[in-house]
Amino acid sequence: MDMPLITFTDRGMHCAAADVYIDPWRPVQRAIITHAHSDHARPGMGSYLCHEHSAPLLRHRLGSGIAVEGIPYGERRVINGVTFSLHPAGHVIGSAQVRVEHRGEVWVASGDYKVENDGLTPPFEAVRCNTFITECTFGVPVYIWQPQAVIFEEINAWWRANASEGICTVLSAYSLGKAQRIMANVDTSIGPILTHGAVEGCNAAIREAGIELPETIPLTRETDPALIKGALVIAPGSAVDTPWANKLRPYSSGIASGWMQVRGWRRRSAVDRGFALSDHADWPGLNAAVRASGAERVITTHGYTDLFSRWLNEQGIASHTEKTAFKGEEVLAATDEESTA
Amino acid sequence: MQQFADLITRMDATNSTNEKVQALTDYFAVAPESDKVWTIALLSHRRPRRSLRTNELRTWAAQEAGVPDWLFEESYHIVGDLSEAISLIVPGNKQGNSGTLTEHIELVKALKGLSEEERRARVTGKWRELDRTGRFIFNKLITGGFRIGVSQKLMVRALSRHTGVPEDQLAHQLMGDWDPATIPFHDLVHVEESAAAASRPYPFCLAHALDMPPADLGDPADWMAEHKWDGIRGQLIVRGGELYLWTRGEELVTDKYPELHVLRDALPDGTVLDGELLPWRDDHPLPFQVLQTRIGRTSVSARALKEAPVVFVAYDLLEQDGADQRERPMQERRKALEAIVEQAKQNRLRLSPEVRFATWEDLAEERERSREMHSEGIMLKRRESVYRVGRKRGDWWKWKVDPLSIDGVLLYAQRGHGRRADLFTDFTFAVWKGEELVPFAKAYSGLTDEEMRKVDAYVKQHTKEKFGPVRSVTPMHVFEIGFEGIGRSPRHKSGVALRFPRILRWRTDKDIRDANTLEDLQELLHAHGQGAR
């Protein structure tokens, strides 16, 4: 039997025919990166190939000295006879599924993705393939997202109520992706948007990629307290309820994360409000993506992998799990920020 | 229902007690009268009787969601709450809920007696009609157990703001036997002489755990001590020639304890006693386990009456000759109580003996004897104190004996419920029997959030096998398990059953080889075992 086009090694997903790794977690010569989150884009690679909007983010997070090349969606790259191309994953700005074609066989490594159009990131695009490598962070059927319009209505109402009482609104979210999705979708007529340094750093890299974001004001020691009162502060989870946030008092705190779908998560998060807003696909989204790929085989990499694989097998789609170092969505832990701070 | 759903959403959205009370007060201002009554009922643990089996709900939900039963079960364990799991898994993205809370409760009550097909049609019909919060509430009405993070005390505070009736009076008013389906709101909160008045208990005075050295309480002479009995707190009422027995959970249990009915004629009319239901033989209490056999039963067998006869151990007098005694100082109430017990001359009615002590050291010594006495420790009551409503700091303290403890190895884990949802936090611990690890206790509480996350990650990384929702893990971690009592139990592999086991500490300093052995456990059983005397 031929060796599979992509194998799972202790360094990461490896396409041996091209000697290229996708989202490797240990140093390799040549890496293709699906997106700039720290569990997918790690330091120490000889070269990085990613979407053109991801390139400034990679430089921002991994250092300006890295060898990185950005290409647009759909552009084909042939390496050792293997054809690679990137396709929108809808996860965060610059996120891509990696399509790998060799001798008529097609694999897609989807990285992280969501199928709902968030209005900022180019929406997920189904790519036909034989083998689909998928995350399943929210791969159980209790995770069915409300349309984002409903969630943003809730966030706006909360912000508005806080602003009218003269208190600050602090929403914690991933610095890359969720933070920008929030600023692009909230009602900016309510008040100013202030940002934590980690968020503003990503903003700058995204603006550098030529993408427009609403006006944000970096929060510093000098920020006028009067401005803070009615503002929406967007910060990584690791900053909320630390001395950093003292300046913002009195404030109401919230978290935007898919985990907030479940009451138990909301209750132990010890914030005032939890909003179930995720950049990962929900249960219907995962199933739709698998079906649209037309894949006869699905490899699950992180999340509720064993459950989702078992479900797919029962649906007649051969599926198994491969162990990886990907983390999916984390609440509060916010390793993303800590590892790059 | 939308108003009630908004209330639940608002309460969920805050950790502040004040805001919760405000949310309830606002709700009382706008809700229909009958919904208010039902809300009071639900928040004081009076719920409609369960009208169907949760198995049916699981099956229907899985079918509505188009998922196999195993996947529904997994989802349920991930969410940690059946009502919520169903509300999330059933498709439908409606916004808003029509109809009143009362109408939904009536619908739930009417499910009883319907055919399965009919029940299913009504329940799934409602699922489709309601939004997520509505579905969650509706399911809670069916399954019971409405815990939404607001205590009865907070509910009474909000109701007091709404009605202007003082809190303590309201707390009393809401006690006892009233039917939310029929009582008008006005009567519930304003009419003291309602039909329920004859049987109505007083709100229980509750003790705080002593969280300082007893010497900080001042002069020992100002305090009265007694043992803290390990039974069921109860209130015994004789009024209008009838006897009523209430538990602290406001359950009327008169019929469950026929051996106490002799007290109806032995006590003067218009008497209310506060005390403890305790199984008793000869001159000492029996272990709580013995009482447990009586709790769930509605009818009492002759055997149970012989094996676990119950006495009422009285420690306070709340009403005498039909007059409320609660404002009198404790020592006066105690004197009057002693006289009443003396006069009654019934061995089913006993006085909780006073523990005499001259110094705090004396009392500390007596406390060490608690386990021998089958008590949980010492109760301290200020001699000059009035009988208060609910748990107030200052006059009543419970000074419990330190728990027994054993170091066990974490062997199995299961996902938790409520705020521990989707975290592996329900554990089974084991001790060594030679080279084998034998499970001896299940426990979940006692870890910090940080520790819970760490153990959860360990369980996920070191799962050996999965048995349904339970995972076995590679034994690596030792935890100190505390418990209040230990008894022989043929039903458990270890041969012992523990009372109130919980995690005291994660012994990261210990290797699994350092954990305790089954012999150690048996030694404890010998020394402190219930019924060991």
Find, in chain A, the residue whose alpha carbon is nearest to that of B90.
A142
pLDDT at A48: 98
Please state whether beta strands A232-235 and A217-218 pair in parallel, antiparallel, or not at all (unpaired): unpaired
Q: Which residues, 6 or more positions from A224, have their beta carbon under 8 angstroms from its beta carbon?
A: none
Query: pLDDT tens, A196-234?
Result: 999 999 999 999 999 999 999 999 988 999 999 999 999
| Partner residue facing B88 (CB), from A142, A266, A304 | A142
DSSP B138: H
pLDDT over threshold 80, residue B15: no
Query: pLDDT tens, B119-161?
Result: 999 999 999 999 999 999 999 999 887 777 788 889 999 999 9
Query: pLDDT tens, B484-494?
Result: 888 888 888 89
pLDDT at B372: 83
pLDDT at B194: 62
**B209-399 CATH:** 3.30.470.30
Q: In whole angstroms, what is the distance from residue B121 CA to residue B99 CA?
A: 18
pLDDT at B195: 62
Please state whether beta strands A193-195 and A217-218 pair in parallel, antiparallel, or not at all (unpaired): parallel
Mean pLDDT of B442-449: 88
User: At A111, phi and psi to the nearest 5?
Assistant: 65, -135
Query: pLDDT tens, B351-403?
Result: 999 999 999 999 999 999 998 888 899 999 999 999 999 888 899 999 999 89
pTM (two decimals): 0.86
Q: Is the peptide bond before B220 cis (omega within 30 degrees of 0)?
A: no
**Nearest CA distance, A264 vs chain B (angstrom):** 4
Give the relative orientation of helices B132-143 and B82-89 as an angle to the nearest 10 degrees: 140
CB neighbourhood size of A143 (10 A): 29
Contact A307 B74 (CB under 8 A): yes
- The domain spans of chain B are 2-143, 209-399, 404-528
Query: pLDDT tens, A246-268?
Result: 889 999 999 999 999 999 888 88
pLDDT at A339: 31
Is B69 near chain A, with CB under 8 Å?
Answer: no
pLDDT at B149: 72
| Partner residue facing B78 (CB), from A140, A310, A314 | A140
The tokens describing B249, both together, are 């959970």
User: Which top CATH class is B404-528?
Assistant: mainly beta
| Partner residue facing A261 (CB), from B88, B93, B449 | B88
Q: Output the CA torsion sign for B184, B188, B193, B199.
A: positive
Mean pLDDT of A129-136: 98
**A7-142+279-321 CATH:** 3.60.15.10
**Interface probe, candidates A137, A140, A278, A308, chain B, greatest B C-beta count within 10 A:** A140
Confidence band (pLDDT; 50, 70, 90) for A335?
Answer: very low
- The domain spans of chain A are 7-142+279-321, 148-275
Please state whether beta strands B436-443 and B424-433 pair in parallel, antiparallel, or not at all (unpaired): antiparallel
Confidence band (pLDDT; 50, 70, 90) for A337?
Answer: very low
Q: In whole angstroms, what is the distance from residue A213 CA to residue A175 CA?
A: 14
Query: pLDDT tens, B318-360?
Result: 999 999 999 999 999 999 999 999 999 999 999 999 999 999 9
pLDDT at A340: 30
**Is CATH 3.40.50.10890 what the domain over A148-275 is classified as, yes or no?**
yes
Residue with tokens 């009919």: B118
| Cα–chain center distance at B396 | 20
User: At A276, phi and psi to the nearest 5?
Assistant: -80, 85
Contact B68 A314 (CB under 8 A): yes
Question: In percent, how much of chain B has pLDDT > 70?
Answer: 98
Mean pLDDT of A115-120: 96
**B2-143 CATH:** 1.10.3260.10
**Nearest CA distance, B15 vs chain A (angstrom):** 6
SS3 assignment, position A132: strand
Mean pLDDT of B496-519: 92
pLDDT over threshold 60, residue B308: yes
Q: Which residues, 6 or more positions from B47, have their beta carbon under 8 angstroms from its beta carbon?
A: B41, B141, B144, B145, B146
Mean pLDDT of A19-36: 97
Query: pLDDT tens, A142-153?
Result: 999 999 999 999
Confidence band (pLDDT; 50, 70, 90) for B96?
Answer: confident
Cβ contacts from A onto B, under 8 A: 73
pLDDT at A341: 27
